[in-house]
Amino acid sequence: MGPADYNRKRATVDKAVALLVRLGGIGVVLAVFFIAAFLVMEAAPLAAGPAVASRGVLVEAGRALAAGVEPFAEASWSLRQDGHLQLRDLRDGELIEDRELFRLREDERVAAVRVAADQGSLAIATTAGRLAAAPLGFVVDYGDELERSHRLEGTAPRWLIEEGAGPLSAFDHQVDGPTVWAVAAAADGAVELIRGKLKIDKLSGEERISFRKLVLEPQGEVRDLALLESGAFVAGFADGSVRAWQASRDFKALEERGAGAPGAPILQIRALIGSGSALVARDDGSVERWMLKLQESGHPVLGQAAAMPERLPGLRGVVPSSRQRLFFALGQDEVWIGQATAGEYLARIPLPARVRGLAVAPREDHLLLLAEDGSLELRAIDLGFPAVTAHTLFGKVLYEGAAEPAWTWQSTGGTDAYEPKTSFVPLILGTLKGTFWALLPSIPLALLGALFTARFLRGRAREIVKPAVELLAGIPSVILGFVAALYLAPAIQDRMLSIMLLPIALVLVTVALASVWARLPLRKRRILHEGLAPFVLAGVYFGIAWAVIGAGPWIEQTLFGTSLRMWLPEGLGLPFEQRNAAVVGLAMGFTVTPLIFTLAEDAFRNVPETLAEASQALGATPWQTAVRVIVPPAMPGVVAAVMLGLGRAVGETMIVLMATGNTPITGMNLFQGFRALSANLAVELPEAPHGGSLYRTLFLSALMLFAFTFVINTLAEVVRVRGRKAL
């Protein structure tokens, strides 16, 4: 092979390697970019508002009092004045079924219909003042081609008031397992609370329902009523006042549960899904959310939870969602979609003027508009993720059953009967808390250790220490978390004081030793050979640590008369948990300290030896050299090391997951656990329904985590590169 061939080959290899390296670099950048893009894509739909199709399917249904659709939104039901329930196929407009659901007397008509918030039942009041409720169920039959056909479920209505005394001014009903509740207001203002309990005779299998009633003397002109949980109801009056009562536990009396100040006359009151709170709509177009807030006395008291910010002109009614704390407010020629938890309107949808009522499909994928002329229009709707707004993520929210607005993370997997609480604040605070307690001991330990190893330790010891510490960083964090949760947490719960005293003791001993040492005559200092000093010191430190940890329980007894973990809750009222931030701080120290140590050690060692030599030749002590000559130019590298440690602590998952108890609380108490963003993802993502609002909320939190660590790491790298250029 001639030299020309050789040169050509050499050039080819050089080019190939350069290309390969470039490809690798581009690949890494692309991977990061794609991860970010994926997170954004999964989280982005949260930001999109509700969208409604501008046109839909139209069918003629005749004059109906109320209408709705079955879950597939392929058939609609409507209830007529004569008590007949009709089922119509929305695909072809054909009448599928017409059933006399409520058997009315002669001259009796249905006066009003009320569909339960979960759309599982409906109730009617008749012109005679009678009240009945019936389950609302549908059956799907699949044909040969798997095409669906729908029919009504065979159900019997139940009369809750069998003999009326004149028309009712308002009523509501609720089906809660085997118990049926109803509340009805007569024209004179008297309110009747009815509880029906279904009992099945075990021998005969016969169903028997037993009713009990409580009557409230007239309190004013009742405009509307809504049943809440456990026999409580809210009544709205013509004078605009809102009042609540609740049946006593033994169902012998009605107890008042507070009142709201008068305002504009009440238009409607509707219980939200789960019956934890009720929407109050007023004639002036305002909508509020009221609920029973638990007081310290143990009795709930009616209070306003949220008020919608705008008044809707010409408000005609509100329809609560059957899945979440959302409602549709029907105005003159528009529908407003309102978020009841956060108290904000998400969208306004213009409607044809002839619409007089609306219903929402059970899956919330369609709106059914009832027109004046008896026609029904089915429009597709995409609500997006209305439960999640900036306010629910970051603001304090008053949730159902709570006394005060709070930042709460309490997601719900499948059911929405419980209000989903998705505040990022406790998670962010948890992450910061874990990071803080992990970095607090790690930063001084790692930096001083790095300075010592780089500039004070000599010979072989130095070549051993660094790889040994780096080896620590290689321990899988799941093992650290496992050890922390199962061994460390119970082992140190009685030695918390020792853990806190240990750094103080070590610093004091060091200072004391140093001052004694400095006073020794030079000749005496030769006893301790310089190469031996670190090992002697290490022995001393181990001894101190052993003594402090051993004496911990004794010190706690002497100081508090009991152990710290008993004294904290009893003496200070601070909770103490076995799996707490101190345990996590210690365990995370094993991952963060080596990282900071090794990067800082590099930074310290990269300061040219010639500078140290110059300093020493000028008569600087090793410490003066370290502080004045080594540390300042190493500072960018040190800052970068700390920032990377910070990034690591923020993203650390397994240790915080296993050793904290994962309670999403807000607060920086060292002796309590917390829940970090990362651990929250690990816990909840596998259980979040794909594409649901929890799923997307979690992706949003992942995006935040990604952005945070990305920014931190980038900044660290920028600082480090700048520092290297300056040196």
Partner 1 sequence: MTQQPTTSLGRIAADAAARRPRSEAPPGPVIRVRDMDFHYGAAQALWDIELDVPRGQVMALIGPSGCGKSTFLRTLNRMNDTIEGTRVDGQVLLDGANVNSPDVDVVELRRRVGMVFQRPNPFPMSVYDNVAFGPRLHGKSKKAELDERVERCLKGAALWDEVRDRLKSPALSLSGGQQQRLCIARALANEPEVLLLDEPASALDPNSTAKIEDLIFELRGRYTIVIVTHNMQQAARVSDSTAFFLKGRLIEVGSTRTVFTNPARPETEQYITGRFG
In the complex, which residues of this chain contact partner 1 (CB under 8 A)? 458-459, 521-523, 526, 531, 608, 610-611, 613-621, 624, 628-629, 632-633, 726-727
Alpha carbons 435 and 428: distance in angstroms, whole number: 10
Q: Which is nearer to partner 1, 338 or 633 (CB)?
A: 633
Residue 131 backbone class (left: φ over 0; alpha: ψ -120 to 50; beta: rest): beta
Distances in Å between the alpha carbon of 228 and those of 176, 282, 591?
Answer: 11, 19, 51
Min CB(538)–partner 1 separation in Å:
19
The token pair at 727 is: 């040196």
Closest CB 462 distance from partner 1, rounded Å: 10
Shortest approach of partner 1 to residue 539 CB, angstroms? 21
Looking at the Cβ atoms of 176 and 613, the one nearer to partner 1 is: 613
Nearer to partner 1, 593 or 615 (CB): 615
Cα–Cα distance between 159 and 211 in angstroms, integer?
Answer: 11
**What Å distances lie between residue 549 and 491, 494, 503, 544, 692, CA to CA?**
11, 10, 11, 8, 49
Q: Which two tokens stand for residue 80?
A: 């007529």
Report the DSSP pairing between strands 121-126 and 131-135.
Answer: antiparallel
Q: In angstroms, give the least distance from the CB of 721 to partner 1.
A: 16
Q: Which two tokens stand for residue 401?
A: 């059953």
> Closest separation between CB of residue 620 and partner 1, Å?
5
Q: How far is the CB of 602 from partner 1 (least distance, A)?
A: 17
Residue 204, number of CB atoms within 10 A of its CB: 8
Question: For partner 1, which is the closer residue by CB, 445 or 631?
Answer: 631
Instruction: Specify the residue, 262 or 608, whose C-beta has the smaller distance to partner 1.
Output: 608
User: Closest separation between CB of residue 629 and partner 1, Å?
Assistant: 6
Q: How far is the CB of 608 from partner 1 (least distance, A)?
A: 7
* Beta carbons of 124 and 132 less than 8 angstroms apart: yes
Angle between helices 693-726 and 677-684 (to 10 degrees): 140
Place of tokens 């994962």: 662
Q: Which of 546, 575, 535 is nearest to 673 (CA)?
A: 575
Could you give the CA distance from residue 426 to residue 536 in angstroms, rounded to a whole number? 46
Contact 624, 614 (CB under 8 A): no
Instruction: Write down the least CB distance from residue 448 to partner 1, Å.
Output: 21
611 or 685: CB nearest partner 1: 611
Beta carbon nearer to partner 1, 550 or 608? 608
Question: What 3-state class would DSSP assign to 330?
Answer: strand
Alpha carbon distance 630, 203 (integer Å): 91
Using CB atoms within 10 A of its CB, is residue 568 exposed (0-12), middle (13-18) or buried (19+)? Answer: buried
Nearest distance, CB of residue 719 and partner 1, angstroms:
16
Residues 6+ apart with CB under 8 A from 128: 105, 108, 164, 167
**First vs last C-alpha separation in the chain:** 46
Cα-Cα-Cα-Cα dihedral sign, residues 539, 544, 547, 548: negative
Neighbours of 391 (CB within 10 A): 15
User: CB of residue 471 vs partner 1: minimum separation in angstroms?
Assistant: 25
In the complex, the smallest distance separating the C-beta of residue 617 from partner 1, rounded to whole angstroms, is: 4
Shortest reach from residue 517's CB to partner 1, in Å: 14
Q: Judged by CB, which is closer to partner 1: 204, or 610?
A: 610
Q: How far is the CB of 398 from partner 1 (least distance, A)?
A: 58
The enclosing H or E element of 302 equals strand 300-307
d(CA 325, CA 286): 17
Distant-in-sequence, close-in-space partners of 340: CB < 8 Å, separation ≥ 6: 272, 277, 279, 289, 306, 320, 325, 326, 327
As measured in angstroms, the least distance from the Cβ of 459 to partner 1 is: 5
Q: What angle do CA 719, 724, 727 make, to 5 degrees?
A: 125
Which C-beta is closer to partner 1: that of 559 or that of 618? 618
Which of 148/526 has CB closer to partner 1? 526
60 phi and psi, to 5 degrees?
-90, 130
Residue (410 or 621) nearer to partner 1, CB? 621
Give every strand in the sheet of 179-186, ordered side by side.
168-176, 179-186, 191-200, 207-216
Q: Characterize 79-116 residue by residue with b for buried, 16 or more Cβ atoms within 10 angstroms of its Cβ, and e for exposed.
A: bbbebbbbbbbbeeeeebeeeebbebeeebebbbbbbb
Distance CA 512, CA 67 (A): 85
Report yes or no: 625 and 616 within 8 Å, Cβ to Cβ. yes
Tokens of residue 726, six digits: 């300056």
Least distance (Å) between residue 526 CB and partner 1: 5
Minimum CB distance to partner 1, residue 610 (Å):
4
Nearer Cβ to partner 1, position 513 or 618? 618
Q: Which of 568, 572, 577, 708 is nearest to 650 (CA)?
A: 708
- Comparing CB distances to partner 1, the nearer of 299 and 526 is 526
Q: CB of residue 467 vs partner 1: minimum separation in angstroms?
A: 20
Nearer to partner 1, 430 or 633 (CB): 633
